């Protein structure tokens, strides 16, 4: 039963990255769109993600619930030592979610829209940035429960160059996912071309940021190179990601089918997460003193794990068909309930 819970844990994280991440990406793309084109992007984004965006962000809740029910010690270690970045991330989630709805449901269209738009795009950028920094702190082993001073305990683990690069990398990946998804949502060839070029630019930026992550990992005193390429699965995942990347670029330029492009983009992100996660598994995080926090050891008692697994399986029976039908129903750009 433990394996079911762990699969759901990683699956919800992956789906949050693929779906929620693309939602963030839509805001990031809007930020880097000329003011002339912004209304078009906004409209396409809204029609594409409007019906599904609430559901996309549920994966984070599922992830966090699995973590605190199944692996309470990991959850409380995170919430204690990464208190500040988690709060910042929550702030981003609050601002972004409400601004997205407010700008659509404000009955009067006036200058307030500028305020909503600004809040939406900035929080779309900052939230995945912080999310990436948290991920960087979890894997880099800088969390030090034995430290004495406030900065060492609560700031240093996440406020460093390496985590910053991981944050930028995450932002670029989100933008890349969103751009690839939106190619298929654009109706006019002009918009399609815009999103193709944005997909390519964000992909290049993601590559650069990825290289930056490797370079800065030395300053964080851990060898990411060894971590990723030190095992067969990691090497395979990175090679597969690179092959699919070439295929994706070819497909983008040739104007291939949108479904193929989306699958390839998701595949790349999945491979990246696999490469990062595999070396480490079953450990979830490393502490500064070298202690490895393992999912197999730091877990809830069996009775809880069993009950949680049944709840997840049972919940999936209700959620998944309904969710798939939602995506199916709105596979074509939706008609919003208000023009």
Partner 1 sequence: MDDFLAARAQMGVSLGFHIIFACIGMVMPFFMAVAHYNWLRTGDVCYKNITRAWSRGVAIFFVTGAVSGTMLSFELGLLWPGFMKYAGPIIGMPFSLEGTAFFIEAIALGFYLYGWEKLNKWFHWYTGLLIGLSGLASGILVVSANAWMNSPTGFIYENGRFSHINPWKAMYNAAWIPEALHMILAAFVATGFAVAGVHAWMLYRRKNTDFHLKAFRIAVSFAAIAALLQPFSGDFAARSVAKLQPAKLAAMEGLFYTQSHAPLSMGGIWSATLPASGSDSIVYQLRYAIEIPDMLSILVHGKANAIVTGLDHIPKNEWPPVGVVHVAYQIMVALGILLFLLAIISLCGVWKYRKWMHKSWFLKWHIIAIPAGFLAIEAGWTVTEVGRQPWIIDHIMRTADAVTPMPGIVYTFYFFTWIYLMLSAMVIFLLYRQIKMVPVLYDVVPDKN
| Binding residues vs partner 1 (CB under 8 A) | 50-55, 57-58, 60-62, 64-66, 68-70, 72-73, 75-76, 78-80, 83, 86-87, 90-91, 93-94, 97-98, 100-102, 105-108, 150, 153-154, 300-301, 303-304, 307-308, 311-312, 314-315, 318-319, 322-323, 326, 329-330, 334-337
What is the distance between the alpha carbons of residues 200 and 101, in angstroms, rounded to a whole number?
29
Instruction: Please answer whether residues 181 and 31 qualify as being in contact, where contact means their C-beta atoms are separated by less than 8 angstroms.
Output: no
Q: Smallest distance, Å, CB 223 to partner 1? A: 30
Q: Which is nearer to partner 1, 99 or 166 (CB)?
A: 99
Give me the least distance between CB of 128 and partner 1, in Å please: 15
Q: Which is nearer to partner 1, 101 or 238 (CB)?
A: 101
58-70 and 2-15 helices cross at what angle (nearest 10)?
Answer: 150
Tell me how far apart the alpha carbons of residues 114 and 215 are, in angstroms, rounded to a whole number. 39
> Considering the complex, what minimum distance in angstroms separates the CB of residue 304 from partner 1?
4
Shorter beta-carbon distance to partner 1: residue 92 or 234: 92
CB-CB neighbours of 313 under 10 Å: 12
Closest C-alpha to 74, from 255, 231, 283, 225: 283
Residue number, 61 or 211, with CB nearest to partner 1 = 61
Residue 295 φ/ψ, nearest 5 degrees: -65, -25
- Residue 335: burial class (beta carbons within 10 Å; 0-12, 13-18, 19+): exposed
State the nearest-atom distance from the C-beta of 226 to partner 1, in Å: 32
Provide, rounded to whole angstroms, the least separation between the CB of residue 250 and partner 1: 34
- Rg of the chain over Cα atoms, rounded to whole angstroms, equals 20
State the nearest-atom distance from the C-beta of 335 to partner 1, in Å. Answer: 7
**Residue with Cβ nearer partner 1 (72 or 184):** 72
CA distance linking residue 43 with residue 39, whole number of Å: 6
34/105 with CB nearer partner 1: 105
Could you give the CA distance from residue 305 to residue 289 in angstroms, rounded to a whole number? 28
């Amino acid at each position: 039963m433990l394996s079911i819970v762990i699969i759901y844990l990683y699956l919800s994280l992956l789906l949050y990255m693929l779906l929620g991440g693309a939602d963030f990406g839509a805001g990031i793309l809007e930020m880097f769109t000329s003011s002339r084109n912004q209304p078009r992007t906004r409209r396409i984004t809204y029609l594409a993600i409007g019906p599904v965006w609430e559901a996309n962000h549920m994966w984070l809740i599922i992830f966090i619930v699995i973590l605190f029910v199944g692996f309470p010690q990991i959850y409380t270690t995170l919430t204690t030592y990464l208190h500040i970045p988690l709060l910042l991330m929550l702030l981003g989630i609050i601002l972004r979610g409400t601004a997205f709805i407010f700008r659509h449901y404000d009955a009067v269209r006036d200058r307030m829209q500028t305020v909503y738009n600004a809040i939406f795009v900035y929080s779309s950028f900052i939230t995945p940035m912080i999310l990436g920094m948290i991920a960087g702190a979890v894997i880099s082993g800088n969390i030090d429960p034995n430290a004495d001073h406030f900065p060492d305990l609560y700031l240093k683990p996440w406020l460093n160059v390496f985590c910053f690069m991981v944050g930028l990398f995450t932002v670029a990946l989100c933008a890349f996912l969103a751009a690839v998804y939106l190619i298929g949502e654009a109706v006019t060839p002009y918009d399609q071309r815009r999103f193709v070029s944005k997909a390519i630019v964000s992909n290049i930026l993601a590559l650069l940021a990825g290289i930056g992550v490797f370079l800065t990992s030395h300053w964080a005193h851990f060898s990411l190179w060894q971590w990723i390429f030190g095992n067969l699965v990691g090497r395979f995942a990175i090679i597969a990601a690179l092959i699919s990347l070439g295929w994706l670029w070819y497909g983008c330029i040739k104007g291939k089918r949108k479904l193929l492009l989306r699958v390839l983009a998701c595949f790349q992100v999945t491979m990246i997460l696999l490469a990062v996660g595999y070396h480490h598994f079953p450990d979830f995080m490393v502490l500064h003193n070298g202690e490895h926090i393992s999912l197999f050891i730091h877990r809830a008692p069996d009775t809880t794990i069993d009950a949680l697994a049944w709840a997840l399986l049972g919940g999936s029976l209700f959620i998944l068909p309904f969710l798939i039908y939602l995506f199916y129903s709105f596979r074509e750009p939706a008609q919003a309930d208000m023009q």
